[in-house]
Amino acid sequence: MRSQGQVRFIKISSRMQKGAALGVVLLATGWAGSMGVMGWNKYVAESDLASFQHEKAKVADHRQRLEAYGGNLERVVDDLKARQDMLDAMSEMLPSDIQTVDTNVTDSSDETAKTVEQVGAMFPQAVGLAQLEARQLAYVENMTRYADWRAERAEEALRKLNLDPREMTRATRHAAQSAMGGPLELLATSADGSLDPRFERLGFSLSRMAELELALEGVPQVVPAADQRISSRFGYRRDPFTRRSAMHNGIDFKGPHGSPIYAAAKGRVTFAGRKGGYGKVVEITHTNGIMTRYAHLSRIDAKVGQSIEAGETLGGLGSTGRSTGPHLHFEVRVNGRPMNPRPFLETAPDVLKEARGN
């Protein structure tokens, strides 16, 4: 390093290099497990991602990085540690086809190659750190492409089911934010607390991916009755008691008394008991703003507050309430609006299978 006409040399000991590498690896393991949660807490995914792309945050070029290597090498080491490198820990999540998605993601390979070349020429002792930084950024950008690819796949699946992805993720985000807390741990990727735009972009993408995939989990996808015979469809019909035209907000499955009733999707039980003409009923609220209702049950096997998986037994088919015989009355409501359950039950299994890559 040249300063006031004098040249000084800085030697990084093997012990210091091993310590820096070990710190990076240890941080990688913890970061890989916590990144999704941190991204969830910090970002409002879709709107912030759009805003981030619009602003086109500036990324430091190789000249600026070269100045950092020449100015304070220990600071560079601290930067690399603080970025909580996740290269090796997340490498298995990178399929070969992610290179074909989302051209909006930056490609820093040319800049980092210049940095490595010039650091090697001017500061040979630091070339290993420059190479490590280049690998960090390459993995960050690849992970961003992968997260965007999965998010786009989930978004397309929701649209195939005639669901609005924005509406679904808004409900998912609201459900998550209603039960949050813990100590403040800001996502920082440099020793001075600043956030590299590429890491920030990854945070947005991971958060958006998580919200969309969580929204898919709450889509009705399992036929709720053991006997799949439909005895009454969704829409206007002649009421069986008054014989007058009336709206039927669900579909009815006819079956043997006491036969099992299943949850159509993952969610949480928000009502279990008697409710007017529904008789014995279970209601499940899903994270995406969808509510499913299972009515006229002979028995209830679920409790309010219980977390339910798709296909889990909720009770037995019956004829309680306003009913002419044993059947299940099944409803799907999206943000309070009744929707025909049949398209979900017929279409969702194939759409979700495709979205999950099965």
Say yes or no to pLDDT of 223 above 90.
yes
**Highest mean pLDDT pick, 166-180, 190-204, 304-318, 337-351:** 304-318
pLDDT tens digits, 258-301: 999 999 999 999 999 999 999 999 999 998 889 999 999 999 99
The residue-averaged pLDDT of 180-195 equals 50
What's residue 190's pLDDT?
55
**Diameter over CA atoms, the chain:** 101
CB 201 within 8 A of CB 105: yes
Write the single-letter amino acid at 294: Y
pLDDT tens digits, 35-86: 443 443 444 445 555 555 544 455 655 566 666 656 666 666 666 666 644 5
Rounded to 5 degrees, φ, ψ at 253 are -110, 120
> To the nearest whole number, what is the mean pLDDT of the chain?
76
| Beta-bridge partners for 284 | 269, 292
> Is the torsion defined by CA of 132, 137, 140, 142 positive or negative?
negative
Environment class of residue 312 by beta-carbon count within 10 Å: exposed (0-12), middle (13-18) or buried (19+)? middle
- The whole-angstrom separation of Cα 198 and Cα 31 is 16
pLDDT tens digits, 91-150: 555 555 554 455 567 778 887 888 778 777 787 777 777 887 788 888 888 888 888 888
Of 3, 127, 114, which Cα lies nearest the Cα of 60?
114
What's residue 69's pLDDT?
59
| Beta-bridge partners for 328 | 253
Here the tokens at position 56 are: 């086109």
What's residue 26's pLDDT?
37
- The whole-angstrom separation of Cα 184 and Cα 172 is 22
Architecture of domain 230-355: Distorted Sandwich (2.70)
What's residue 53's pLDDT?
53
Domain ranges (residues) in the chain: 2-217, 230-355
* Angle (CA) 226 229 230, round 5°: 120
Separation of first and last alpha carbons in the chain: 56
- The whole-angstrom separation of Cα 127 and Cα 121 is 9
Here the tokens at position 127 are: 């070339």
C-alpha count within 13 angstroms, C-beta hemisphere, residue 322: 9
